Structure 1
């Protein structure tokens, strides 16, 4: 019995998925389908340059493709389905591909548009995000409520809250957090994600998502918006849109999974960011990052 986690933006790296392509027929099929849907995607993932991969409209489909490939390799190797699943921001789309809610090709086309719309929503340089460390979430919320133009974007772990908004507002909040002896790390992002400034992106994506079929997921997938597992396709459609302008409630998601009795967490995709958040949130949890065929083999042998 395990929980499946799917990473979001920031977990990408050049060359991700190459070992899977070489070592798993199922993963190769997924990545070939991704390339057929978005020609040139594999070259961006494997050859870069890095600045091209980091573009939001490339980063999002690249991460989804690799997560879907890891999931396919896991199933090919005999891995079972999770009791519950969740994805961090973009990763929620990957989780729904794994659960069969969305077809791979539909999801890839949609997240490329999602990335493009999010980038276009706010002119470059006008928005910013920052991680706030060493302060309790309630203190971060109090400061944010006092400063117009900045919002809480991510509740990642008990000691890490991300803020998002207009650059001058984020800077003003950062100065206040430092006065309170918090640590503030500016994030290298291209737009103020998960804030009300992303409303234009949400409205544009709504038209695209309206024409795509969603099926009931084979296993429950948490919504970043509600921090609850969702299974109704039309409700999922609404929440995938609302997610663009709403905070990612990751701590609550992990705590709810733990309350359901889950202690084993597998991260399907590039990097191990979510494994780190699991360890910082849940004391007795086991978190394993699956990125290569060897990772999958080891996980299955230990399970």
Structure 2
């Protein structure tokens, strides 16, 4: 069994996430202690909410890092297993680098707190929008290019999540125009409830704001490669990480290619660490028949251990 560790991004959150493993496993408790020291008040928010405050980008980003890594550390200690590679969806790339040893947990929490603040502030409320599009990605790319060329505004590919699921992001008028054109072509378009238009050029102020902190962070030797969102290439050289995380803020999340790259690295089992199972579902669409697990609770860890022993 060769495991690819997967770490979720925004909107995989829930009040209470990470709490069950922290009650049962000391290593998960340690992660939450570090999280509280790095972002005071974060663990109480994770434990009891309110949900609307936890949902705020500046809170949600470090909270997801803490919850995912609490589960990951407990899983690793209890099973004695180590991944051969990892990837994270957007924000989750920071969690992947902590798992690989590139970043300390403290650094990832501090960076994602600042990242969330900057991304929220980059575009005034109501100015930007995002929509998920079900259909041919080539058509989505062509329509976005046509709308931008017409001068309506910025609309770009934000996420390539699955073979027929693409997310567009940009100025509200441009996203609306692209959505209308795509519906006219017979594609399904679903407006997303987001606080800002992520992963497009409108996030340039956030990219510039986070660059000094990314450059100042300490990057250590990696114990396994992490596939970068913005290139879909495996990274084993820690000196490349700051630049890739910087580019990720305005660049597309190339998730389909990233999952394919994990498989090319030899991964035959894909394990998503954290609340929800969004990435697990996407992997099944990208690699039909792939072995997948979602690990979030002590019961998930126990079930994984039994499954592993049976192979």
Q: Normalised by the size of structure 1, how large is the TM-score?
A: 0.98
The match for 1:275 is 280
Match of 1:266 among 268, 271, 289: 271
Describe the SS at the equivalent of 1:204. Answer: helix
Describe the SS at the equivalent of 1:154. Answer: strand
The match for 1:214 is 219
Describe the SS at the equivalent of 1:225. Answer: coil
The match for 1:299 is 304
How far apart are the structure 2 equivalents of 1:292 and 1:262?
Answer: 23
Shift of 1:257: 2.0
Shift of 1:262: 2.4
Describe the SS at the equivalent of 1:42. Answer: helix
Deviates more, 1:248-257 or 1:154-163: 248-257
The match for 1:45 is 46
CA contact (8 A) 1:267 1:275 kept: yes
How far apart are the structure 2 equivalents of 1:164 and 1:217?
Answer: 32
The match for 1:60 is 61
How far apart are the structure 1 equivalents of 2:182 and 2:253?
Answer: 20
The match for 1:246 is 251
Deviating 4+ runs (over 3 angstroms): none
Q: Normalised by the size of structure 2, how large is the TM-score?
A: 0.95
The match for 1:84 is 85
The match for 2:11 is 10
Equivalent residues, number? 302
1:118 aligns to 2:119 (yes or no) = yes
The match for 1:70 is 71
1:136 aligns to 2:141 (yes or no) = no
How far apart are the structure 1 equivalents of 2:222 and 2:205?
Answer: 28
1:287 aligns to 2:292 (yes or no) = yes
CA contact (8 A) 1:263 1:284 kept: no
The match for 1:175 is 180
Describe the SS at the equivalent of 1:262. Answer: coil
The match for 1:99 is 100
RMSD (Å), alpha carbons: 0.9
